[in-house]
Amino acid sequence: MAKAKELMPEKGMRVRNWKTSMTLTVLMLPAMILLAVFNYGPLFGLLMAFQDYSPFKGVFNSPWVGFDNFVWFLTDAKFWQVFRNTVIIAFYDLIFCFTAPIIFAILANEIRNMAFKRVMQTISYLPHFLSWVVIGGLVRSLLSPTSGLVNNILGVFGVEPIYFITEASMFRPILVITNIWASVGWSSILYFSVISGIDVQLYEAAMIDGAGRIKQTWHITLPGMASMIVLLLLLQIAGMFNVGFDRVYNLYNPTVYEVGDVISTYTYRLGIEQHEYSLTTAITLTQSVLGTILLVSANFISGEIAGLGLY
């Protein structure tokens, strides 16, 4: 009888745990369905990379061509030009666009006037909510050779109008600077949250020891941000071959294809304009595989050197 009474609480605990698990499962079910439909369902379309796909024949009836699509773009000089542009722009993003939010967050943390600090942060977030179509229009208007603000200012000093958007040597800097302006505020939010979680007593102890603001930043703020920096760096490296389609497409033109055409815009023209569905699928699949290899490699190196990583 005593044993039966002891087992009853355990049975009640199991029932409660089961109900809790079922409740959480039901709550998670819509997200799992969306993930399956929009993330795993389309993986079926990867079969097109090994076919001469025709929308009229469908995936099951289109002829198989093996690795012909991969061989075609890997031996195409145009693709390697696009690949080089993608790597160069991604490298610029890694150097400038990735570090800009870190610097911005550290500098903003030094502001002592809280009202001014909040206003500045709010203003810096605003560009994130603008479409790249709008941003592209603003940049084109500012850099217009006839009515643009930049050329008007240069004209005051006797400089002839410059066609910034059509100058191949200027396109990549314009792309990077525009991306910094559009994303620095929003990208710094995570760094602000990490900085706010650093123990204030560390700064007080450093001040007692005579450490200035630079030393406090170097020995306290940056180490406190290290885990978040590594996490976002790994994600940035994983997406190196996936340079943003929107910003390039809304800023480039045929005169700068040589330096501005990237994999995403190249596959868009092949797939949408030239209807090369199998070829673009093969390129995208290769792009994803390379991104995965970069992520795994960078995560391994980060784990070996710094002891930090995604997993």
Please check whether residue 191 is in contact with residue 101, taking contact to mean a CB–CB distance below 8 angstroms.
yes
Instruction: Identify which of 240, 249, 243, 229 has the alpha carbon closest to the alpha carbon of residue 309.
Output: 229
Residues 6+ apart with CB under 8 A from 98: 232, 233, 236
Q: Is residue 310 part of a domain?
A: no
The CA-atom distances, in angstroms, between 52 and each of 56, 72, 184 are 12, 12, 43
Return the pLDDT at 243: 82
How many CB atoms neighbour CB 102 within 10 A? 20
Are residues 35 and 59 both part of a single domain?
no
Please check whether residue 297 is in contact with residue 278, taking contact to mean a CB–CB distance below 8 angstroms.
no
Summarize pLDDT for 87-138 with one digit per residue, the tens: 999 999 999 999 999 999 998 888 888 888 888 888 888 898 989 999 999 9
Mean pLDDT across 253-281: 89
Mean pLDDT across 45-65: 87
Q: How many distinct structural domains can be found in the chain? A: 2
Q: Is residue 311 part of a domain?
A: no
Return the pLDDT at 91: 92
Q: CA angle at residue 35 from 31 to 38, to 5 degrees?
A: 130
Are residues 76 and 162 both part of a single domain?
yes
For residues 154 and 162, give the distance between their C-alpha atoms in angstroms, rounded to a whole number. Answer: 9
Residue 195 has pLDDT above 60, yes or no: yes
For residues 102 and 100, give the distance between their C-alpha atoms in angstroms, rounded to a whole number. Answer: 5
Residues 6+ apart with CB under 8 A from 101: 183, 184, 185, 187, 188, 191
Burial call 28-41: b when 16+ CB within 10 Å, e when fewer: eeeeeeeeeeeeee
- 2 pLDDT band, cuts 50/70/90, is very low
Residue 11 has pLDDT above 80, yes or no: no
Are residues 191 and 152 both part of a single domain?
yes
Secondary structure class of 64 (helix, strand, coil): strand
Are residues 24 and 138 both part of a single domain?
no
Examine the fold and report which residue of 46, 65, 82 is the final residue of a domain before the chain moves on: 46
Return the pLDDT at 7: 47
How many CB atoms neighbour CB 182 within 10 A? 22
Return the pLDDT at 232: 87
R_g (Cα) of the chain, nearest Å: 26
Are residues 243 and 194 both part of a single domain?
yes
Mean pLDDT across 162-190: 90
φ, ψ for residue 307 (rounded to 5)?
75, 15
Are residues 261 and 165 both part of a single domain?
yes
Are residues 90 and 213 both part of a single domain?
yes
Residue 12 has pLDDT above 70, yes or no: no
Whole domain around residue 8: which residue ranges? 2-46
Residue 164 has pLDDT above 70, yes or no: yes
Are residues 55 and 42 both part of a single domain?
no
Return the pLDDT at 10: 64
Are residues 14 and 79 both part of a single domain?
no
Are residues 121 and 31 both part of a single domain?
no
Are residues 56 and 42 both part of a single domain?
no
Are residues 188 and 69 both part of a single domain?
yes
Q: What is the pTM for the complete model shown? A: 0.83
* DSSP letters spanning 25-42: HHHHHHHHHHHIIIIIGG
Tell me which of 248 and 7 has the higher pLDDT. 248
The CA-atom distances, in angstroms, between 85 and each of 13, 91, 164, 243 are 60, 10, 18, 10
The CATH number of whichever domain residue 161 belongs to comes to 1.10.3720.10
**1 burial type by CB count under 10 A (0-12 exposed, 13-18 middle, 19+ buried):** exposed
- 236 pLDDT band, cuts 50/70/90, is confident
Lowest model confidence (mean pLDDT) among 11-20, 210-219, 294-303: 11-20
Mean pLDDT across 72-93: 91
